[in-house]
Amino acid sequence: MGEMKAVLFDRFGPPEVLYVGRRPVPAIGPDEVLVRVRAAAVNGGDLHDRTGKVRLVTGRTFPKGCGLDFAGEVAEVGASVRGVREGQRVWGLLGRRTGSMAEYVAVSPRRIAPAPENLTPEEAVSLLAGATTAVTALRDKAALQPGERLLVRGGSGGVGSVAVQVGKVLGARVVALAGGRNLDFVRGLGAEEALDHRTTALSALGRFDVVLDTVGTEHARVRRLLAPGGRMVAVAADLDRPLAWLGTVLGSAVHGKGRIRFFSGNPDGALLAEAARLAERGDIVPVVDTVHPLDGVADAQRALAAGGVRGKHVVRVA
């Protein structure tokens, strides 16, 4: 099928290392699907990949692609694949690899599901990672129950903004920490309380049945907010102090109550389909901060790194 445009980088470094290059359109195997990508989200993992903070996992082979998730439509279906048709609107993730900021991606059908019918590709992809992460964290890992008190740390970000909504759907009393200018925004998503993380002392927050941390720092202090029987789920790691962070997480399983449950999302098609149902029912709504063109991905990553984001920065691929 010739070549396609893709966001690439040839070395670790600042956003300026990103560029739009050309790569061959992936050839699919009999058990794969080729998706024409319309939009991809900018995630925190993209920044870590580009700076080399996770180079032990990603390796040092270049050029590297960028992007973890996507929304688009099926362009080609492998001979062994059933239940997927050409032209079908889908959303999905690449799993443990990158490269969704490209005109085409080859994926397993287990990594995609029909996209929410009521959303544009840009809206859909803004929800994808947050919805699957929040459902897994709050429902599956923490077993959040109606009436329980939930703290969402990072309540205005790509995961936090959806987690506030999922917490409300599950019947929790949601308290969120966010930047001062985003407090009304977070309340509008369903938080009973939204507090400025810069001026609110953790000790003044009271106790919580569940804490969802999307920030990745100060886990030892945040863990002390748990009530008896409380559960803390962390979906971000402190990669600037990895040994100290790892010690806190591992130590929490041994010393005292309140083990910190950490996981890195890797959802399957069933979870993607469930997230689509939540979106189609209006239980969760997309929050798009800014839509960037493909050659504006460096600006998108700068904006995410600067903080104060409302939902997701999204890249329109085609």
Question: Could you tell me the CATH number of the domain that includes residue 36?
Answer: 3.90.180.10
Last residue of a domain, one of 245, 260, 275: 260
Name residues whose C-beta falls within 8 Å of residue 214's C-beta, 6 or more positions apart in sequence: 152, 153, 154, 157, 159, 160, 163, 235, 236
Rg (alpha carbons) of the chain, rounded to whole number: 19
Q: What 3-state DSSP class applies to 19?
A: strand
pLDDT of residue 219: 82
Judge whether 129 and 100 are in contact, CB under 8 Å: no
Please state which of the ranges 71-85, 109-123, 211-225 shows the lowest mean pLDDT. Answer: 211-225
The tens digit of pLDDT for each residue in 118-157 reads: 999 999 999 999 999 999 999 999 999 999 999 999 999 9
Asked whether residue 270 is domain-assigned, the answer is no
Q: Does the pLDDT of residue 257 top 60, yes or no? A: no
Asked whether residue 91 is domain-assigned, the answer is yes
> Is the same domain home to 14 and 82?
yes
Residue with more model confidence, 124 or 244: 124
> Is the same domain home to 97 and 170?
no
> Is the same domain home to 229 and 172?
yes
> Is the same domain home to 106 and 159?
no
Last residue of a domain, one of 260, 276, 306: 260
Stretch 59-77: mean pLDDT, rounded?
95
Judge whether 215 and 153 are in contact, CB under 8 Å: yes
> Is the same domain home to 106 and 229?
no
Judge whether 305 and 47 are in contact, CB under 8 Å: yes
Judge whether 194 and 187 are in contact, CB under 8 Å: yes
The tens digit of pLDDT for each residue in 4-34 reads: 999 999 999 999 999 999 999 999 999 999 9
Q: Where are the beta strands (DSSP E) in the chain?
A: 3-9, 19-24, 33-41, 64-65, 69-77, 89-93, 104-107, 112-114, 149-153, 173-178, 193-196, 208-213, 226-234, 260-262, 288-293, 312-316
The total of structural domains in the chain comes to 2
pLDDT of residue 54: 86
Stretch 62-87: mean pLDDT, rounded?
97
**Pairwise CA distance, residues 74 & 72, whole Å:** 7
pLDDT of residue 238: 46
Task: For residue 138, give its domain range.
Answer: 127-260
> Is the same domain home to 136 and 254?
yes
> Is the same domain home to 81 and 189?
no
Name residues whose C-beta falls within 8 Å of residue 34's C-beta, 6 or more positions apart in sequence: 25, 26, 28, 74, 75, 76, 77, 104, 105, 106
Name residues whose C-beta falls within 8 Å of residue 156's C-beta, 6 or more positions apart in sequence: 176, 178, 179, 182, 185, 186, 308, 309, 310, 311
Check which CATH number belongs to the domain holding 218 and give it.
Answer: 3.40.50.720
Asked whether residue 87 is domain-assigned, the answer is yes
